[in-house]
Amino acid sequence: MAYAENTLVANQISFKPGGQQPVMQEGFIHSKGQPQPMTLPANYSNLALSRLPKGMKQILIEQGLYHPKLRPIGNNPKRKKIGKPKGVDYCCQRILSLQKDFLEEKGKQQEELESESDIVLFHLYFHCEFKFIEYFWEYIKYELRGNCDYKMEGLQEHVPHTFSNIPISTI
């Protein structure tokens, strides 16, 4: 999914501050009920890093979720139990991605459509019964089975009529 440049996306954040990561919009620390800037302050102790994007470690420290044994990304290769902080996961990136402000982010296309009062629905790829077009075809097939004599002439007669009488609630 494509996101706007300043969207909160955990896999675009470096473990350390600065670097090639984008400057992201302000987040929110829900446990403390306060906003969380995603850049270091202008009066930061290391002036070379002031106003640069924060790293995952700093963001998690501010949220009270950092643990020294956390890996920046990926799984623990030795599969050791190191104690899941707050019962979430072993990896910093995963913990960040599960925070409410990161989960609530929307893709660029979805934001544009919703700004014009459109509704965007995402469906699972392999479950066609959840797609609205399937309700449409299900209705067509049901009506044709009940009103058709199973000959080509009957089908040609009933298909246009069935299409024109589909209730809007079905689509």
Question: What residue segments make up the domains of the chain, in order of their start?
Answer: 10-115, 128-170
Closest CA to 159 of 135, 143, 170: 143
- What is the per-residue pLDDT for 68? 86
DSSP 17: S
pTM for this one? 0.60
Region 150-170 average pLDDT: 85
* 92, two tokens: 């910093």
Show the tokens assigned to 89: 């996961």
Separation CA 81–CA 140 (nearest Å): 55
Q: In whole angstroms, give the CA distance from residue 40 to residue 14.
A: 14
How much is the pLDDT for 87? 47
pLDDT tens-digit series, residues 121-153? 776 666 666 667 778 888 888 988 888 888 888
DSSP string of 37-98? -SB--TT-SSGGGTTSBPPHHHHHHHHT---TT-BSSS--TT------GGGS-SBHHHHHHT
Under a CB-based contact definition with an 8 Å cutoff, are residues 85 and 67 in contact? yes
Angstrom distance (rounded) from CA 99 to CA 114? 23
Nearest CA among 9, 40, 38 for reference residue 25: 38
Q: Are 95 and 88 in contact (CB under 8 A)?
A: yes
Helix axes 152-164 and 132-147, enclosed angle (nearest 10): 130
Which region among 27-31, 53-57, 107-111, 156-160 has the lowest average model confidence (pLDDT)? 107-111
What pLDDT does residue 88 have? 44
Overall average pLDDT of the 33-48 stretch: 91
